[in-house]
Amino acid sequence: MPHDHHHHIDPKAGDARVAWAIAVNMGLTVVQVIGGILSGSLALIADALHNFSDAISLIIAFAARKIARRPADASMTFGYGRAETVAALINYTTLIIIGLYLLYEATMRVFAPEPVDGWLVVWIAAVALIVDLVTAALTYTMSKSSMNIRAAFLHNLADALGSVAVIIAGTAILLFDWRLIDPLITFLIAGYILWQSFREIGPVIRVLMQGSPPELDVNALLDDMRSVEGVSSVHHLHVWMMEENQTALSAHIVTETELGTTRNELKSMLKSKHEIAESFLELEAPSDACDHPHTIGHG
């Protein structure tokens, strides 16, 4: 079954939260980059790049939210809702590139360690941890119903973990002068970014590829459609996500009963039991049914 999303928030209030999240992340990024350069900490710069990517993803998500609200028109008859899905794809692709770059830089640092100012690293990472938690709080409510904002929320939780890791690295440098821990922590941050990005990019691609919701059992759906009174058979079935939280269905229905009644019963069942927002049904009499049809798709 598709997700049941009832966590709505006023669009203007949501925009204000995203704007504040962008502002604090941009400010933090500047502080972390300066601190990373002055202290010589690659881990701190790695955390700054992750924060910067979060800020950029929030900017893209902010713009996508605005575009997605535009009504359907002659050029976009399904509307602009998928703007947020496209934004999510851009965000995750960028994160993957950043993660790979950090792996490269950390590898270079292993072979050529540089001095690190532990105290500066610890203080800036502590500030970053506070900002990450504030940003996560700003986006938590919206993360329940938006692919983009959920990505930003998860990224900020990852940033918080990264900040904790950087604090550990700075402390280890202060106590034991173990400089190798800086690139090792960077490996962990980069690995987490890549793991998270590859895990989250799949559902985004699924929407763009017009896949069915992963929670939906298509075979059970077909059984339910065939069980409706008057339905002889179902073929050319298509089920796809128009947007993250909106599923559509089209199908050819062979029926011998009154067409309008069968159509209405099917639409009602699909909406109530399987949360199909839009269903496009072509009803056929047995004498006019398609020859050798495929049950799913058109072959």
Q: Which of 159-168, 194-203, 207-216, 263-272 has the lowest mean pLDDT?
A: 159-168
Total residues found in the chain within this entry: 299
| All domains in the chain, ordered by first residue | 11-208 (1.20.1510.10), 218-288 (3.30.70.1350)
Q: What is the pLDDT of residue 12?
A: 56
| Cα–Cα distance measured from residue 46 to residue 180, given in angstroms and rounded to the nearest whole number | 15
Query: In Å, how far from its chain's centre is CA 8?
Result: 17
3-state secondary structure of 232: strand
Task: Check if the beta carbon of residue 102 is closer than 8 Å to that of residue 186.
Answer: yes
Residue with the bigger pLDDT between 169 and 239: it is 239
| Cα–Cα distance measured from residue 152 to residue 250, given in angstroms and rounded to the nearest whole number | 33
Predicted TM-score (pTM) of the model is 0.74
Closest CA to 128 of 101, 154, 82, 162: 162
| Cα–Cα distance measured from residue 59 to residue 169, given in angstroms and rounded to the nearest whole number | 31
The percentage of the chain sitting over the pLDDT mark of 90, rounded to a whole number, equals 24
pLDDT tens column, 225-247: 999 988 999 999 999 998 888 89
Order of all β-strands in the sheet with 246-255: 231-243, 246-255, 276-284
What contacts 139, CB < 8 A, 6 or more positions away? 17, 18, 21, 58, 149, 152, 153, 156
3-state secondary structure of 164: helix
Give the strand pairing for 246-255 and 276-284: parallel
Q: Which helix (H) or strand (E) holds 104?
A: helix 83-111
